[in-house]
Structure 1
Amino acid sequence: MATRQPTLAQTSAAQNPGGAVDATQPARPRRERGTRVRRRRVRAAWLFLTPMLIGLALVAGWPLARTFWFSVTDASLSSLEGANFIGFENYLVHDNGWYGILADPLWWQSVWNTLYFALVSVSLEAVLGVIVALVLNAHFRGRTLVRAAMLIPWAIPTVVSAKIWAWMLNDQFGIINHLLMTLGLIDAPLSWTADASLSMWAVIMVDVWKATPFVALLVLAALQMLPSDCYEAAKVDGIHPLRVFFRVTLPLITPALLVAVIFRALDALRVFDVIYVLTSNAASTMTMSIYARQQLVEFQDVGYGSAASTLLFMIIALVTVVYLYLGRRQLGGGS
């Protein structure tokens, strides 16, 4: 007759005569194994990230540290090696009056221009990008061709597109003024890039035209991943499409929209090329990057220009941290 093997419960009961099974005994090795696996994964992650971090330190960290150093010296473009340490005099110093970047009205004007440009352009790009993505997500003939054509503004190099728009906005031979006068909307040609009251809106229009396809592309990718069952249920229940958009679609695409907005905000805060090509060094559209370039190249004051670049870096870092914090709180439900 075959002998019957004891079961796991009988073995545990034999080991615990009182009848109480110690459930904590097998859990401790499992936690230890999980901790070892987690440590191995962390070590492997750092091993793979180390080459990238070294390259990033060489490509970005060293120039950034050098810029910080130049910002506290009197370095000029003709004598970088003979720079002397002067502390924070490039930022702010009192010598029978306040001097330095923080006392320069043109610097604060460039800060305001940059923040205004970033806020208006990124807001318009976010709204128009969502609208374009919703249109391209619909089913119609030629949708693939329209999607490809939408990316053309984003594919054109910024300097090239800015120069094309500079010709189109020219007050003498530009096609924009010609079309507006033909339609009877204006009586005389407008100096879009020379008039202080119009130049900022001109560069915002050009930036929105170029960057909206980028936002639309990211939002369209998010729309393609949305489940269809909730829309079918809303259609059966007869819910209005606008309510479905604000209650269902918008919350689901918010993570992708936040990514698009943060990328565009970073580009807008350090904008240089499109504004410099259209309006050069005009005070009405001067941004922080153009201000730093003017000090570095035209005035050949490396210390002063490096201080402007350092302040630009700090402002962008501060705005990015605040935006990511607010976005994380929104996605996390305020926790």
Structure 2
Amino acid sequence: MSTPVTESAPIAARHLARHKRSTKVRRQRVRAAWIFLAPMLVVLVLVAGWPLLRTFYFSFTDASLSDLSDTLFIGLENYLIYEDGRWYGVLADPIWWRAVWNTVYFSVVSVSLEVVFGIIVALVLNAEFKGRTLVRAAVLIPWAIPTIVSAQMWAWMLNDQFGIINHLLMVIGIIGEPIAWTADADYSMWAVIMVDVWKTTPFVALLVLAALQMLPKDCYEAAEVDGIHPVKVFFRVTLPLITPALMVAVIFRLLDALRVFDVIYVLTSNSTSTMSMSIYARQQLVEFQDVGYGSAASTLLFLIIALATIAYLYLGRNQLKLGGD
């Protein structure tokens, strides 16, 4: 009975030695990773961390853009304060909550449309047809154009006096008179969403196309032999396999959409019907020169984006775990 124990002792010793070597190698890799990351982290702290901390600090003061040195600590007054029977602060401002709603609405609608159109474009570009390389290059042109340039271009095209969009719609007979797409509250948000979808759909399509190029061909060959309908193949095979790439595309687009500024500001300026959280913060900081109040709005914007990102990553990770199970 003692022989198996004696014979297993060298095996256990070898396992222990192998474990120690793997642990040592893992520590060396972690140490090397931190050494390589250290310069980037230092730069990140200087470029992003310090301004962020300054913004947090100013949000608790009455700082003004005219003189940042003369500031007083006022606590949470910029966020919310009850005084003389009324609530004051960013959280009591109906314009701020309208900006929050505009931003969330813009983000959800635009990102959803970009995902749908991006998948469709990627599936088309993944097919074999003559001139596919030229079409792929052409599809990326909207994404390659700077946002300011594309927004100004669309502002001219959507102009109610000389815009080509109104001219074409009137020639076709869809509308009877020019529409102020970027000035009318009923159309301005959809005009902004349309421009953003046109601009960033190629980004989603590019990521999805890269995922499609990596899919195994044997699954589709087997489905073709079994006579399974292509729509069912897409939802049962293709979509689950490209979900990680879609998650990356959605999180990047969601971050961009929640902090949107340029496309809305160029098309509609400070219009309340389309004002985003970033435009609200900019208005307080620059036009009203209230650094404390604007910093409070910027801090709330940062917290909203951080919470949305954490929630999306948490839900996405759980979905991938369920899919793996």
TM-score, scaled relative to structure 1:
0.94
Determine the C-alpha separation between the residues in 1 that align with 2:176 and 2:92: 42
1:136-155 paired onto structure 2 within 5 Å = 136-155=125-144
Which of residues 73, 78, 89 is equivalent to 1:90? 78
Deviations 1:146-199 (CA, angstroms, capped at 9, x unpaired):
000001100111011001100100011111011111111111111100100100
Aligned to 1:112: 101
Task: Give the secondary-structure state (helix, strand or coil) at the position aligned to 1:24.
Answer: helix
Uncovered stretches (5+) of structure 2, i.e. residues with no partner: none
Task: Give the secondary-structure state (helix, strand or coil) at the position aligned to 1:85.
Answer: coil
Whether 1:127 aligns to 2:78 is no
Which of residues 303, 306, 310 is equivalent to 1:321? 310
**Which residue identity does 1:192 align to in structure 2?**
W
1:255-274 paired onto structure 2 within 5 Å = 255-274=244-263
Which of residues 22, 27, 45 is equivalent to 1:34? 22
Aligned to 2:190: 201
Offset, 1:17: 9.9
Deviations 1:266-306 (CA, angstroms, capped at 9, x unpaired):
00000000000000000000000000000000000000000
Aligned to 1:296: 285
Which of residues 209, 215, 218 is equivalent to 1:226? 215
Percent of pairs identical after alignment?
75
Structure with the largest fraction of helix? 2
**Which residue identity does 2:71 align to in structure 1?**
A
Which of residues 232, 240, 259 is equivalent to 1:243? 232
Aligned to 2:273: 284
Determine the C-alpha separation between the residues in 1 that align with 2:206 and 2:160: 34
Determine the C-alpha separation between the residues in 1 that align with 2:96 and 2:48: 25
Task: Give the secondary-structure state (helix, strand or coil) at the position aligned to 2:301.
Answer: helix
Task: Give the secondary-structure state (helix, strand or coil) at the position aligned to 1:94.
Answer: strand
- CA RMSD of superposed structures (Å): 1.5
With over 3 angstroms needed to count, the CA separation of the structure-2 counterparts of 1:243 and 1:79, relative to structure 1, is same
**Which residue identity does 1:109 align to in structure 2?**
R
Determine the C-alpha separation between the residues in 1 that align with 2:116 and 2:74: 47
- Structure number with bigger Rg: 1
Which of residues 145, 151, 155 is equivalent to 1:166? 155
**Which residue identity does 2:47 align to in structure 1?**
V
Uncovered stretches (5+) of structure 1, i.e. residues with no partner: 1-14
Determine the C-alpha separation between the residues in 2 that align with 1:16 and 1:83: 81
Determine the C-alpha separation between the residues in 2 that align with 1:144 and 1:174: 32
Aligned to 1:73: 61
Determine the C-alpha separation between the residues in 2 that align with 1:304 and 1:136: 48
Aligned to 1:48: 36
Task: Give the secondary-structure state (helix, strand or coil) at the position aligned to 1:247.
Answer: helix
Task: Give the secondary-structure state (helix, strand or coil) at the position aligned to 2:322.
Answer: coil
**Which residue identity does 1:155 align to in structure 2?**
A
Aligned to 1:191: 180
Determine the C-alpha separation between the residues in 2 that align with 1:206 and 1:121: 9
Task: Give the secondary-structure state (helix, strand or coil) at the position aligned to 2:44.
Answer: helix
Task: Give the secondary-structure state (helix, strand or coil) at the position aligned to 2:12.
Answer: coil
Determine the C-alpha separation between the residues in 2 that align with 1:279 and 1:251: 39
Offset, 1:21: 3.5
**Which residue identity does 1:312 align to in structure 2?**
L
Determine the C-alpha separation between the residues in 1 that align with 2:268 and 2:168: 22
Determine the C-alpha separation between the residues in 1 that align with 2:172 and 2:8: 89
Q: Which runs of structure 1 show a deviation greater than 4 angstroms over 4 or more consecutive aligned residues?
A: 15-20
